[in-house]
Amino acid sequence: MGISQALYTGVTGLSVNADAMSVTANNIANANAKGFKRDRAEFEDLLSTGVSSGANIGRGAKLRDVKTIHTQGGLKVTDNITDIAIQGMGFLIVTNPDTEVQESAGKFFTRVGSLNFDKDGNLTDSNGGRVQGYMANKDSSLSSRLTDIKIRTSSIPPKATEKVLVNVNLDSREKIMEVDFDIASPEKSSNFNNTINIFDSHGRSHAATVFFNRIEDGDGISWKWHAAVNSDEVTDGEAGQEFKEIAMGTLKFDKTGNLLDEVVEKSEINFANGALEGQTIDFDFGKNILNEGGNGTNTTSSIASKSSTVFHSQDGYESGNLKSIKIGLDGVITGLYTNGLQKSIAGIALATFENQTGLQKAGRNLFYQTISSGPPKMGMPQSGNRGSLFASSLEESNVDLATEFVDMILTQRMFQANSRSITTADTMIEEVINIKR
């Protein structure tokens, strides 16, 4: 009978609105959960066809789906360097060997970036899942293999200096020295000098002084340079002599003072105290015009200006221990060492999906892939359509309490309306029963 069917139709309305209230209550309960994505209950109607009339008659509603809304949450600054917020698209990738969801292949995806290092140095989330990324190779380039991110706090070995870059201006007004360069009295037999620290194979620092003296050149300007260290620091130093020459060469400039050519005539160092002998250093004074395609900028020059050091650097360093880390917008984790070295350690990966609403919630603010979501497309932040990472920040929930309260009011009213349809149908049935009286 149609009237009795109305009772069951009202019951379906009570059921779906009760489910909708549960979804709303869950959103409100997680309003302060970091990285939480709100859900929305979606209904669909039920139809049945009448036997006599063939007309479609509505028979109520059912819960079709609980859809997760993946809108961006606000970012909150924290004081923990390993807190990470994602601005834009993407999910952090974590693995957990104890997972019960075998279909996920052990991989879960989350927007919650509350990370820490465990006792073994693995970067993990609050559930113990290991964050996935790309570890750095020896040359600091990132590997292409996705793996657990593990930060090793052991020291990095020293590196002997192999190259010295010197950028100076040598005053073209200086007169040609009347005496040849003498290592026994270098200051008196040179026009200008510059000192830079270099390192031996043990990582010990040594002060190397480069002396410059102008020499005769009819076509332009030429200078001789001589690099020397303290005689006590090498095995072949001469007794009673302060300096030991370790390298020498010639710099030739054109008539406008630009570096035309440079020649290294000698370079060999035998540091003492067990360091590697025969260490060679490439002394580079910038890009010359003749062989390196220089144009006279950002390189050694010889113009009518007081001799001065513009810039110098070298590639050696002493051993160092990891002091702290920093995480860039591109997800690269850089280690800061006690010897002043900065070195890429790893890169945090992000995953995107063709249909992120197809992801299935696994609890604890984790998702896993489904056939509907498609496979993850993994890579570094700021590549493809992936977002950026903000260190010392966390993403807030995207729950809007005002919206949830309005939904709660509407759901409550709809529940009441459906209960009225049941009581009204009951009254109609009562009237039918009373016909016999």
Inter-residue contact 80 to 32 (CB < 8 Å): no
Distances in Å between the Cα of 176 and the Cα atoms of 108, 249, 256 are 73, 17, 18
Model confidence, pTM: 0.80
Please tell me which residue, 436 or 305, carries the higher pLDDT value.
Answer: 305
Instruction: Please tell me what DSSP assigns to residue 41.
Output: E
pLDDT (tens digit, 9 = 90+) per residue, 255-307? 899 999 999 999 999 999 999 999 999 999 999 999 898 888 889 999 999 99
Q: Give the model's confidence band at 213: pLDDT under 50 very low, under 70 low, under 90 confident, else very high.
A: very high
Which range (3-12, 249-258, 366-375) has the least confidence?
Answer: 3-12
Inter-residue contact 88 to 386 (CB < 8 Å): yes
Q: Give the model's confidence band at 50: pLDDT under 50 very low, under 70 low, under 90 confident, else very high.
A: low
Q: What H or E segment, with its residue span, contains residue 29?
A: helix 2-29
pLDDT (tens digit, 9 = 90+) per residue, 19-38? 999 999 999 999 999 999 99
Rounded Cα–Cα distance for residues 154 and 135 (Å): 16
Q: Is the pLDDT of residue 58 over 90?
A: no
pLDDT at res. 415 = 95
Contacts 24+ apart (CB under 8 A), 62-65: 62/12, 62/15, 62/16, 63/15, 63/16, 63/19, 63/20
pLDDT at res. 89 = 96
